[in-house]
Structures are given as structure tokens and as C-alpha cells.
Chain A
Amino acid sequence: KAGVTQTPRYLIKTRGQQVTLSCSPISGHRSVSWYQQTPGQGLQFLFEYFSETQRNKGNFPGRFSGRQFSNSRSEMNVSTLELGDSALYLCASSLGDETWSGNTIYFGEGSWLTVV
């Protein structure tokens, strides 16, 4: 079955602009999470959504936001882009449950964002 799909794969934005990244989870998966990967900070958790509700959020400024739709698709938005936002943004999905179950989390190929 199809894996986690992210669009766009590559994009270049100018400082001050905003960007929206999209993610389609594996069919049947209800939990979607986002991670930022940079050479300096490594892989950092942004937020997680389940049934259109944000359940957990990492330590990122309010410029980073996300949402989940009723079909489990998700988008994340970064406003007022800064040079330091250049990174690989990874979306991940899992079955998700009402309570914690340590489901395996599957990742997409990521969106490479460059801010100039």
C-alpha cells in the first residue's frame, strides 16, 4: 500500500514569506506528526494530530502551525520565514489510538525547504 506522501518535495522561499506543506498519511492511519530536521539540531518534533485535534506540540515558535482534515490529511504552515527555517520537514503517520500504544510511526520522504 502507498506510504506517507508529502508535497512539495523541494521548494525555495524568500525570507518573510510563508509556506504550506502537505502530507497524506498511509491509508487507515489517523495520527499524523511533523518533524523538522536540520544539521545543527537534528530531528525535532513539531506537533501531532489525531482526529483533527492537536495532541502534542514541540518547542517551536507560533510561526509554525498545522492542521488535520477529516480525511486525516495534514498541512503545516510556517509564516514569516527565517533563514533558520531551512530544513527537511518530515511528516509521519501511525494508526493512532485514543490512548498511547507506541504504534510504529512511518515517515514520508520529506519536503526540503530552502529559505533565501
Chain B
Amino acid sequence: QQPVQSPQAVILREGEDAVINCSSSKALYSVHWYRQKHGEAPVFLMILLKGGEQKGHDKISASFNEKKQQSSLYLTASQLSYSGTYFCGTEKAGYGGSQGNLIFGKGTKLSVKP
């Protein structure tokens, strides 16, 4: 079952902030965030694990609320290069941790204007 992302789209001016949310009805092992530019493959931004560990882009931050199975991606002081579609991907919690089966949301289209 796909995680639910919100908002579906957002338009910003350079320098403004944005928050993208992702929620799941399943108990999660991890949440991933990816950005896709038009016509290109998705690119990894960040991964947040159950238990608090995370790894990712040093200019982007995110949070993972394990109790609510929700994650938020924080884009601060946005730049033109932040434009694209952002996807969250979720891994269900399973025996031994990662099951390697990533399910993506429908995406959030972010447009940053000069």
C-alpha cells in the first residue's frame, strides 16, 4: 500500500521554506526520500531508520515519527535547483530489519521560482 504524501504540489520563491509530509498505515523500518528532475531517474536524498539513525544530504533535513509512522522532509532557504518531484519510499518493519522492499508515494512536485 502506497504511503500518502502531502501536499501534491507546492510553489516557492527562492529562499522560502517548504515541508513535505509522508505517512504510512504500516509499521515501518525506514523512510527514504528521493528527488526526481524531469526526464531523469530519482536520486537518493535521505534515509531515516527506526530507532533514530539517518543518513543523507547535508543541506536537507528530515524527521521520522515512529509512533505515527510519519516522516517530513524540510527544505529550507530553497534554491532553484531544488525544483523537481520528491518521493518518499517506505520499508515495512520485518524480522531482522530491512526487507529491501521499498514502496513509493505518488510524489510532491516542487517548483522554485526566482
Do A and B assemble together?
Answer: no
CB within 8 Å of A: which residues of B? none
